[in-house]
């Protein structure tokens, strides 16, 4: 592994989140393709991308900034699944799975941010 982020468990878990969100969002109705489907996929991708980008920054302060963005993206995914639930377009099992993954990732990002102080 050549890059620092590849060794981070939180980054690996964020890739799992991206894969799950991608599969679950395939079940969303076509009329959501450019609305909620696009939004949730971009938010999930943003978690892993910000962890990766921030890890190769110039300082711990910069990495913390990118981790803050990753945290907000993680929370955005949760917001999206609540909207999907309200619109009756996500199965309860999928909701619970994504919610749990987001919770776990959020805790991991917060711990990583704290360790950079």
Local confidence band at 61 (pLDDT 50, 70, 90 cut-offs) = very high
* Mean per-residue pLDDT, 22-40: 96
Q: What is the pLDDT of residues 37-60, one digit of tens each?
A: 999 999 999 999 999 999 987 799
Residue 91 lies in a domain: yes
Residue 2 lies in a domain: no
pTM over 0.85? The answer is yes
Residue 80 lies in a domain: yes
Residue 23 lies in a domain: yes
End-to-end CA distance of the chain: 25
DSSP state string for 3-67:
SGGGG-HHHHHHHHHHHHHHHHHTTS-GGGIIIIIHHHHHHHHHHHHHHHHHHTSSSHHHHHHHH
Residue 75, domain extent: 8-115
Q: What is the pLDDT of residues 91-113, one digit of tens each?
A: 999 999 999 999 999 999 999 99
Contacts of 46 (CB under 8 A, 6+ apart): 69, 70, 73, 76
DSSP state string for 79-92:
HHHHHHHHTT-S-H
Residue 59: what pLDDT? 92
Count of structural domains within the chain: 1
Residue 58: what pLDDT? 78
Q: Above 80 in pLDDT, residue 79?
A: yes
CATH classification at residue 73: 1.20.1440.60
Q: Above 90 in pLDDT, residue 2?
A: no
């Amino acid at each position: 592994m050549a890059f620092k982020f590849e060794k981070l468990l939180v980054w690996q878990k964020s890739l799992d989140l991206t894969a799950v969100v991608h599969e679950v969002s395939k079940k969303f109705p076509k009329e959501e393709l450019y609305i909620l489907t696009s939004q949730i996929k971009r938010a999930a991708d943003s978690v892993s991308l910000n962890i990766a980008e921030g890890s190769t920054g110039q300082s711990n302060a910069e990495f913390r900034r990118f981790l803050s963005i990753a945290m907000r993206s993680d929370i955005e995914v949760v917001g999206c699944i609540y909207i999907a639930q309200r619109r009756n377009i996500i199965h309860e099992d999928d909701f619970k799975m994504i919610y749990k993954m987001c919770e776990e990732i959020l805790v991991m990002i917060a711990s990583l941010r704290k360790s950079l102080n």
